[in-house]
Each structure stands twice: as C-alpha cells, then as structure tokens.
Amino acid sequence: MAETDPQEILAQARRYAEDLTLFEGRHFIVPEEVVLQASGLGEKEISTSEETSASEPAEKESVVASDEGLTLDAFREEICTCTRCPLGSTRNQFVFGSGDPNAGIMFVGEAPGADEDQSGLPFVGAAGQLLTKIIEAMGLSREEVYICNILKCRPPGNRDPQPEEIAQCEPYLKRQIDLVQPRVLCTLGRFAAQTLLRSDLTMGRLRQSEHRYEGIPLVATYHPAALLRNPQWKRPTWEDIKKVRRLYDGVAL
C-alpha cells in the first residue's frame, strides 16, 4: 500500500498513538526520589546528570586497567580478522559492538543481519531502529549504552547461529563484558538469553525470572525484530526495559 494512501496514513497515525500510550510517552521519566535514592546508595547517578558523565569514566578506567591494560578498541583490533569459524570467510564486516566503553547498560543481541554486515555496526536495520527508540524511551541514547551481539559475523541468509559458531564467538563477548563491566545486561531474544544463561527455556519463561551472568544482573527480553512482527509483545518488553532502567539506577536490588 502506498504511503500516501489515506488508509495507510490513518493506520500509521494509530500505530504512533498506540506506541505513545504503550511507552508512557516518549521518555521514561525517572522519579526524583529514585535519583536521590540511587545517589544515596553510592551508585553512579543516572547519566542525564552532568556530574555523572564526569565521574563515570574514572570509575571504570581502573577496571579496564586491571584487565592487563586492554581497552575495548585494542581488543577489537586483536580479534577483527577472526576466522575461527566459517562465518569469517562469508562476512563483509566484523561487527564488534558500539557505544560507551564504560556503559552501565549492555544490550546483547543475536547476530548481525545484512545491514549490520554492510555497515560494521550492530542494530542499524529496522530492528535496530526500534531498539534505538526503546533506548531513547528509557531516557538514554545509543551512545550512552553498549550494544553488541553473541556472534560478531553474519550467518548467511540470517539463519540461526550454529552451536559451533556460538562456542567460538562467545569468549569474545565474555571479554567485552569483562572490559565494559556494565551494571546490568539486557539480552534481546531467545538466542542471546539461552546462550548466556545456558538454558533451553522459552523466551516467555526466561523473562519471568531474575538472572545473573557472572554476578551481573541480567534481564531477558524479546528481540526488537520479534516486536516488529508481534506488537502484542511491546507491552511486556516495556516492563522488562523499565526493570533494566531500575537496575541501572540502583533501585531494583
């Protein structure tokens, strides 16, 4: 249907209105008492505060320094020509990850798709645009979080990652997590959650429990690509995302 079709324009307006209601307005407003409580706990304040941006890197630098001085950039250089699995010979670009190397929130998806394989950046296609909206609805920007995937190279034809590919690639993700030291992990979709949690439970079951990965709180939610196909999952996803925000703010301990 053409975009100038009045029916389509009306349908699109309805979708926008629904989204606004669903996401409680474009921004998730953090109540003042939450901010105060978070700073009282000695936690980093939410990143909308200028003070926070100044103090965060110093706090994280010591963590990176204790990891044999390795930085995320150096690690990317070290592994970006990887050929440990056959995807190394079919990829266009190695998709390492993007965002703040000191981020308090790390999103982990499944694997690069065609757009990501072309650009070398994670989540830049349609699903990525929805992820960007979700991050903005949390009151953050893509630059303030860290985004990456279980696999760094695109499986041809967007097929599911194979166990051997995951086995070869997962240590890279583990090292990224060690370097970023996020306060909270958010897995996007079944594959990421099942891989990090060593579970074969369904997405619906996984999102009902509290998890930790190597001591870091982990929230499992739906993949944005699944939300594009199943808008009824947007509401539960928003509940999960608010949990991520609360963990980041230090008020869901």
Binding region for ligand URA (CB under 6 A): 109-113, 116, 122-123, 125, 127-128, 149, 225
Helix (H) / strand (E) containing 137: helix 126-137
Q: CB 187 → ligand URA: shortest distance, Å?
A: 10
Burial class of residue 32 in the structure, from the number of CB atoms within 10 Å of its CB (0-12 exposed, 13-18 middle, 19+ buried): exposed
Closer by beta carbon to ligand URA, 113 or else 250: 113
Burial class of residue 19 in the structure, from the number of CB atoms within 10 Å of its CB (0-12 exposed, 13-18 middle, 19+ buried): middle
For 64, the token pair is 């990176």
Q: How far apart are the first and last CA of the chain?
A: 48
DSSP lists the bridge partners of residue 147 as 98, 107
Whole-Å CA distances, 82 to 101, 152, 169, 196: 21, 9, 9, 21
Closer by beta carbon to ligand URA, 112 or else 217: 112
Q: CB 129 → ligand URA: shortest distance, Å?
A: 10
Q: CB 143 → ligand URA: shortest distance, Å?
A: 16
Q: CB 26 → ligand URA: shortest distance, Å?
A: 23
Closer by beta carbon to ligand URA, 37 or else 132: 132
Closer by beta carbon to ligand URA, 53 or else 118: 118
Contact, 182 vs 106, CB < 8 A? yes
Compute the distance between CA of residue 79 and CA of residue 198 in angstroms, rounded to an integer: 24
Q: CB 144 → ligand URA: shortest distance, Å?
A: 18
Closer by beta carbon to ligand URA, 13 or else 114: 114
For 2, the token pair is 């053409």
Q: CB 131 → ligand URA: shortest distance, Å?
A: 8
Q: Is 170 helix (H, G, I), strand (E, B) or coil?
A: helix
Closer by beta carbon to ligand URA, 46 or else 127: 127
Q: CB 133 → ligand URA: shortest distance, Å?
A: 15
Closer by beta carbon to ligand URA, 182 or else 189: 189
Residue closest to ligand URA (Cβ)? 109
For 158, how many CA atoms within 13 A lie in the half-sphere containing its CB? 6
